[in-house]
Amino acid sequence: MLDAASYVWRVLNELVADAARITVLTGAGISTDSGIPDYRGPNGLWTRNPEAARMSTLADYVADPEVRRRAWQSRTTHPAWTAQPNDGHRALVALERSGRLIALLTQNVDELHQRAGSDPGIVVELHGTIWTAECLDCHARTPMADELARVSDDLPDPPCRACGGILKSATISFGQQLDPLVVERAVKAATQCDVFLAIGSSLTVQPAAGLCHVAVDAGAALVVVNAEATPYDGLAALVIRAPISETLAALTGTLGGVR
């Protein structure tokens, strides 16, 4: 007799094996095994320190030099600079190589999918990247490492070298619009898939979370893999609460079987 976990793997395997076109959405949960804390989980950055959310709120960032100073300090020690991809990221590279992954949408800004070997052409960074700095005024973009190298006690909040404006990581803060072209690509990928896999996202941030609805409305089966319940669990064909690395390892086993 199958136990509950085996049943879940079997359903997941059947869904994935039958799908010609798969779209994946990843959130912070896939990178926690790489040492990058999530935001809203039990040990999340904002759960432990609600004040930290101000650094990711555009109005506070623009209005308050102290918020920017703390944001630059936080960036200099960000775990993304030394993090390595984990088995979860690598499993999605295997899924891509099976030829059925049409897009890898991510809410993460750590570039670990690309570093794991995912084709940058299929990765859609909904919330931008921390590896690039962008001027809020002239929109000049520069490598984050170059700007971090300028940060010092005398220059705690380095201005844009082109126009003197405020620099920020090229990530989407609260109160900041997503790039419309990025949203368009994501909606298209959600509309065109047979299976939409949402992995490690609390599915509480729009418009990313709403992509689940877009996919289901277009006829896709939604699979939610997350440690905690999400607002979209009721829409899902399958909800998996097992650890992400374990779930994606099961998926990789399936892919090995179909190739």
Question: Which residue, 156 or 159, is less far from Zn ion as judged by CB?
Answer: 159
Examine residue 162 and tell whether it contacts Zn ion (CB under 5 A). yes
Closest to 70 in 3D by CA, of 156, 178, 170, 168: 156
Query: Strand pairing partners for 141?
Result: 134
Per CB under 5 A, the list member of 163, 204, 217, 234 interacting with Zn ion is 163
Q: Which residues are catalytic?
A: 127
Query: Least distance from C-beta 158 to Zn ion, angstroms?
Result: 11
Examine residue 20 and tell whether it contacts Zn ion (CB under 5 A). no
**DSSP code at position 57:** B
Query: Least distance from C-beta 168 to Zn ion, angstroms?
Result: 11
Question: Which residue, 149 or 163, is less far from Zn ion as judged by CB?
Answer: 163
Closest to 196 in 3D by CA, of 212, 207, 184, 172: 212
- Reading the block at residue 162, the tokens are 């082109």
d(CA 240, CA 242): 6
* Residue 173 near residue 52, CB atoms below 8 Å: no
**β-sheet with 123-125: strand ranges across:** 123-125, 101-106, 22-26, 195-199, 221-225, 238-240
Contacts to Zn ion from residues 96-135, by CB under 5 A: 135
Query: Least distance from C-beta 137 to Zn ion, angstroms?
Result: 5
What are the start-end ranges of the E strands in 37-157? 101-106, 123-125, 128-135, 141-143
Per CB under 5 A, the list member of 67, 101, 105, 160 interacting with Zn ion is 160
The piece of 5-13, 57-65, 157-165, 190-198 that touches Zn ion (CB under 5 A) is 157-165
The piece of 146-154, 156-164, 210-218, 251-259 that touches Zn ion (CB under 5 A) is 156-164
Q: How many residues touch Zn ion (CB under 5 A)?
A: 8
Query: Least distance from C-beta 139 to Zn ion, angstroms?
Result: 7
Instruction: Write the single-letter amino acid at 154.
Output: D
What are the start-end ranges of the E strands in the chain? 22-26, 101-106, 123-125, 128-135, 141-143, 167-171, 195-199, 221-225, 238-240
Question: Which residue, 20 or 163, is less far from Zn ion as judged by CB?
Answer: 163
Per CB under 5 A, the list member of 37, 44, 117, 165 interacting with Zn ion is 165
Question: Which residue, 137 or 179, is less far from Zn ion as judged by CB?
Answer: 137
Question: Which residue, 155 or 163, is less far from Zn ion as judged by CB?
Answer: 163
User: Which sign does the torsion angle of CA 181, 187, 190, 193 carry?
Assistant: negative
The piece of 108-116, 137-145, 170-178, 220-228 that touches Zn ion (CB under 5 A) is 137-145
Site residues for Zn ion per CB under 5 A: 135, 137-138, 140, 160, 162-163, 165
